[in-house]
Chain A
Amino acid sequence: MGNAIPHVRSAVGKIRGGVHVQHHKNTADQEIVRLPAPDKVVIPMQMNIGAPCAPIVNVGDTVSIGQVIGDTTAFVSTPVHASISGTVTAVGDITLANGVSSRAVTIESDGEMRLFEGLEPPKADTREELIAAVRASGLVGLGGAGFPSHVKLGFKPGTVDTLIVNAAECEPYITVDNRECIENSWDVLSGIQILKEILQIPRVVIAIEKNKPKAITILSSIASQIEKTKGEISVMQLRSVYPQGAEKVMIYSATGRRVPAGKLPSDVGCLVMNVASVAFIARYIKSGKPLVSRSLTVDGSAICTPQNVRVPIGMIIGDIIEHCGGFKVTPHKIITGGPMMGLAVISTDIPVMKQNNAILAFSKEDGLKKETDCINCGRCASACPMNLQASVIARLAKTGDAQALIRAGANVCMECGSCAFSCPAGRPLVQNMRLAKSIIREAAKSNG
């Protein structure tokens, strides 16, 4: 079967700009290791874009894995589940990596890792049932943004013709999606089957960057083995360029369609789901076990033994780093998420959230770049996949002119950081973009 590698499609659209970041995919061949149960977890009630949950357990309660401990009636939100079994020892406020304060439930382990008895496979035969099940599973986009997945699935029937399974993983260092493709390839495919069938999406594209040949080979060979959907599910190779995995970029690469500013992927007939989220849906439908753990890449110049680990949601990142041999040099910066879009944290005492896909720690040498004056070189503009002129918007933001900022397209910015990455003067362009957007928001508020 030497030449039996099935057909892999190549990209349809070629996005402008983007940057070539060093990949550092050091852990690409490291199997995901399940860490032993921690003594305690701190589970934030706000782990998604949208409304936070309210804790529904009290100090002293005994909980077990998969039991709902926080919920809300808001649609754009997902319930939160206990990730270890044990006793609730605190319900209070903590500060998350992004500086936002959130309620959180602390659970001290009883060491048993007992599953909640009420867990059973959900009924998911219709669109409504599937959406309800996915909401109940607590799933948010596992690729980083943390958008509740069931909201995405609630598009108007018949409007979406392409499901794009995002396995681009364009951020440096992170390799858990790559591992997911390799280790749980059948889950990925059955997740696709479920979504495809119930949501009636005629075409599925699994989009992977070229630098993951193993994942490409495995998934395309499995896809071609499934007789029923032959020709309808295909693997697509994309250029390894950052930010290939950003939703709008991905849609353009995979289909050549441009999502209009301010619109959603479903407006151009696309649904984009992270590959780990798709595999999770398959497992959830089979077992009924909600989102209580996730895989992470732990890497960076300050980490002793970089590896991929599977940890309960809410595990303290300091504990995870301990398990990876601790620090080999004094860390100067610790990031949750990738180096391009992740958040720098000022304490190792914070919990892992559903959407975190990496913990990276760097020593001093990988430190900051000195900020100097803008030389108007235009590299930020050439790097921007959204065709924005970051230097111009930065200047406009200083004037506070909301109308000019809207005209310059500041709202289209996805904060991918390509501009700031390319800037020889080390300008804080992403911060300026956020400032620009907040000026626009404020102006809209005071007008309306």
Chain B
Amino acid sequence: MVDNKLLTASASPHVRTRDTTRIIMLDVLIALTPSLIASVILFGLRSLAVTAVSIASCVLFEYLSRKAMRRANTIGDLSAAVTGMILAFNLPSTIPFWMVVFGAAIAIIVVKQMFGGIGQNFVNPALLARIVLMVSFPKAMLASWATPFAWRSDTPDAVTSATPLAILKTGEGTLPALLNMCFAKAGCLGEVCAAALLLGGVYLMIRRVISPIIPFCYIGTVGMCMLLYGFAQKENAFLFTAYELLSGGLMLGAFFMATDYATSPISSRGKVIFAVGCGLLTCLIRLFGNMNEGVSFSILLMNILVPHIERLTVPRPFGVEKEKKPRKDKKEVQPS
């Protein structure tokens, strides 16, 4: 017969999905790869080096901080590697390596692990690291973009201070052609090829790692607002909108950062509110703020609001009627 001691008594269900955190994170890494390749083509091996340093230091910091806190090692779930890759994508390829390491420390140690590790952080680690770097080292972060393809020309170190967004805002300089906006523009190393980002985003949606709600609502809101603004203020509203959509980190933000599980709502209604909020804030910052880029700050602000959005959008359980509050309250006032 059977040795009863070997039998496991566990709670149902006794079958589980094959998906694991690691597989999900691996999918995100796969989805980011086309953009990395695009970046290497545009900016040379320097982008690869920045990405490698960022991933390596994120994984190392994850390992060390878990060790220091005497908690189970989690580098195997690949979430630190994803943070590293996304952080790198938010940096210019010209950034000094030590700054990358500093950013990784902020992302992993301060934002992620000090709040309890995966799923617990209330803002996106890579995003906050980027903002800290931006505030601390504005020159390195905001004013020295490598010119696309310069590394293959006679002036390999050519830098420009003008991203398309800066040109859109100030009106100084010439915008790259629309086609170049899709494939090659100046900017952070991961945001420069909108087509590659879109490819990765579609992959994540097909794999059901992310739901389409956030990217669609986010990009949709930005599109609508820019169109309205364009009709009021610009000669060619459609062209203006196209540039706005393809500029800066919008694609990267909408597909890969606003969709971060820990810092976005889980209910569909919550996702809509969150994404529309991100979209509106992005437009406000881009059009009326004194910064060129609004994606990081708007996602960050909305991240902070997520717990409130979640609370307001708890779905009604099956068979539970809508509460009719107001009237009852009035009637039940008791004389004291």
* Residues in A lying within 8 Å of B, measured CB to CB: 19, 21-22, 172, 248, 258-261, 263, 318, 327, 330-335, 339-349, 360, 362, 366-370, 372-378, 381, 385-389, 391-392, 407-409, 412, 415, 417, 420-426, 428, 430-431, 434
Contact = CB atoms under 8 A, between A and B. Distances in A.
Residue in B9, B267, B319 with the greatest tally of chain A CB atoms within 10 Å: B319
Given A348-B4, A387-B316, A387-B317, A377 B17 contact: no
The 7 closest A-B pairs by CB, nearest first: A409-B317, A378-B266, A417-B13, A386-B318, A261-B319, A412-B317, A339-B14
Interface in B298-319: 310, 314-319
- Please classify the interface of chain B as helix (H, G, I), strand (E, B), loop, or mixed, using the class held by over half of its residues: loop
Contacts of B20: 369-370, 372, 424-426
B11 A340 contact: no
B322 to A, nearest CB: 12
A385 B315 CA distance: 12
A298 B249 CA distance: 56
Given A334-B2, A386-B317, 19 more contacts: A248-B318, A260-B320, A318-B1, A318-B2, A332-B6, A332-B7, A341-B13, A345-B7, A368-B8, A369-B16, A375-B79, A375-B262, A376-B119, A386-B318, A392-B266, A408-B317, A409-B316, A417-B12, A430-B12
Contacts of B266: 376-378, 381, 389, 391-392
Interface in B67-115: 74, 77, 79
Contact of A423 (B1, B3, B17): B17
Nearest to A242: B13
Contact of B13 (A259, A340, A367, A425): A340
A388 B317 contact: yes
Given A261-B319, A387-B315, A424 B19 contact: yes
A426 B24 CA distance: 13
Contacts of B336: none
A375 B21 contact: yes
B13 A376 contact: no
B10 A368 contact: yes
The A interface is mostly helix, strand or loop, or mixed, namely: loop
Given A347-B4, A389-B314, A339 B320 contact: no
Given A375-B262, A420-B16, A387 B318 contact: yes
Contacts of B4: 346-349
B65 to A, nearest CB: 14
A423 B2 contact: no
Contacts of A259: 319
A379 to B, nearest CB: 8
Contacts of A332: 6-8
A318 B317 CA distance: 41
B318 A339 contact: no
Contact of A376 (B9, B262, B318): B262
Contacts of A422: 17, 19
Contacts of A367: 8
Contacts of A391: 266
Contact of B8 (A318, A333, A348, A370): A333
B239 interface: no
B15 interface: yes
A430 B7 contact: no
A374 B119 contact: yes
Contacts of A373: 21, 74, 117-120
Given A341-B13, A346-B4, A417-B13, A392 B314 contact: yes
Contacts of B77: 372
A344 B320 contact: no
B151 interface: no
Nearest to A366: B15
Contacts of A341: 12-13
Interface in B253-274: 261-262, 266-267
Contacts of B49: none
A301 to B, nearest CB: 11
Interface string B237-255: 0000000000000000000
B154 interface: no
B263 to A, nearest CB: 8
A415 to B, nearest CB: 7
A333 B321 contact: no
A347 B2 CA distance: 8
Nearest to A426: B16
A332 B120 CA distance: 34
A104 to B, nearest CB: 18
Contacts of B17: 19, 421-424
Contacts of B15: 21-22, 172, 339-340, 366, 421
